[in-house]
Amino acid sequence: MSAAALIVFREVLEAALIIGIVLAASRGVPGSRLIAAGGIAAGALGAVVVAALAGTITEAASGVGQEILNAAILGAAVLMLGWHNVWMSRHGREMAARMKALGNDIVIGRISAWALGVAIALAVLREGSEVALFLYGIAAGGEKTGAMLAGSAIGLVSGILVGVSLYAGVLRVPLRLFFTVTGALILFMCAGLASQAAGFLVQAGLIPALSESLWDTSWLLDEGSIAGQFLHVLIGYIARPAGIQALVYVLTLAIIGALLASFGRTSPVSSRTS
Partner 1 sequence: MLIRKCFPVALLAVVLSPFNPALAEESFTIVFKDHRIVPQELQVPAGQKITLIVDNQDAAPEEFESHSLKREKVVPGNSKVTVKIGPLKPGTYEIFGEYHESTAQGRIVAK
Binding mask 74-113 for partner 1 (x = CB under 8 A): ----------------------------------------
Least spacing, CB of residue 137 vs partner 1, in Å: 3
136 Cα distance to chain centroid: 24
Rounded to whole angstroms, the Cα distance separating 181 from 241 reads: 26
Residues in contact with partner 1, counted by CB under 8 A, come to a total of 31
Residue 172's φ and ψ, nearest 5 degrees, are -80, -15
227 interacts with partner 1 by CB under 8 A: no
Check: CB of residue 36 under 8 Å from CB of residue 23. Answer: yes
127 binds partner 1 (CB under 8 A): no
Nearest to partner 1 of 240, 265 (CB atom): 240
| DSSP sequence for 39-72 | HHHHHHHHHHHHHHTHHHHHHHHHHTHHHHHHHH
Q: Which stretch binds partner 1 (CB under 8 A): 20-28, 58-66, 115-123, 161-169?
A: 58-66
Per CB under 8 A, the list member of 58, 266, 271, 274 interacting with partner 1 is 58
Scan residues 62-81 and list those touching partner 1 (CB under 8 A).
63, 66-67
38-42 long-range contacts, CB within 8 A, separation 24+: 38/117, 38/121, 39/116, 39/117, 39/118, 39/119, 39/120, 39/121, 39/124, 40/120, 40/121, 40/124, 42/117, 42/121, 42/124
Q: Which is nearer to partner 1, 65 or 92 (CB)?
A: 65
- Of residues 192-221, those binding partner 1 (CB under 8 A): 199, 202-205, 212-213, 218
**Considering only CA atoms, which of 232, 229, 46 is closest in space to residue 124?**
46
Selected binder of partner 1 within 99, 103, 107, 140 (CB under 8 A): 140
| 240 near partner 1 (CB under 8 A) | yes
CA distance 45 to 55: 18
Q: Which stretch binds partner 1 (CB under 8 A): 17-25, 36-44, 152-160, 234-242?
A: 234-242
Neighbouring residues of 113: CB distance < 8 A, sequence distance ≥ 6? 26, 29, 30, 31, 32, 35
Toward partner 1, which CB reaches closer, 36 or 194? 194
Q: State the amino acid at position 265 in one-letter form.
A: R
Q: Is 64 or 80 the residue whose CB approaches partner 1 more closely? A: 64
Nearest-angstrom CA–CA distance, 87 and 43: 23
Binding segment toward partner 1, per CB under 8 A, in 59-67, 83-91, 99-107, 178-186: 59-67
Cβ of residue 69: shortest distance to partner 1, in angstroms? Answer: 10
- The residues that touch partner 1, with contacts defined as CB under 8 A, are 3, 7, 54-55, 58, 63, 66-67, 130, 133-134, 136-138, 140-141, 199, 202-205, 212-213, 218, 222-224, 238-240, 242
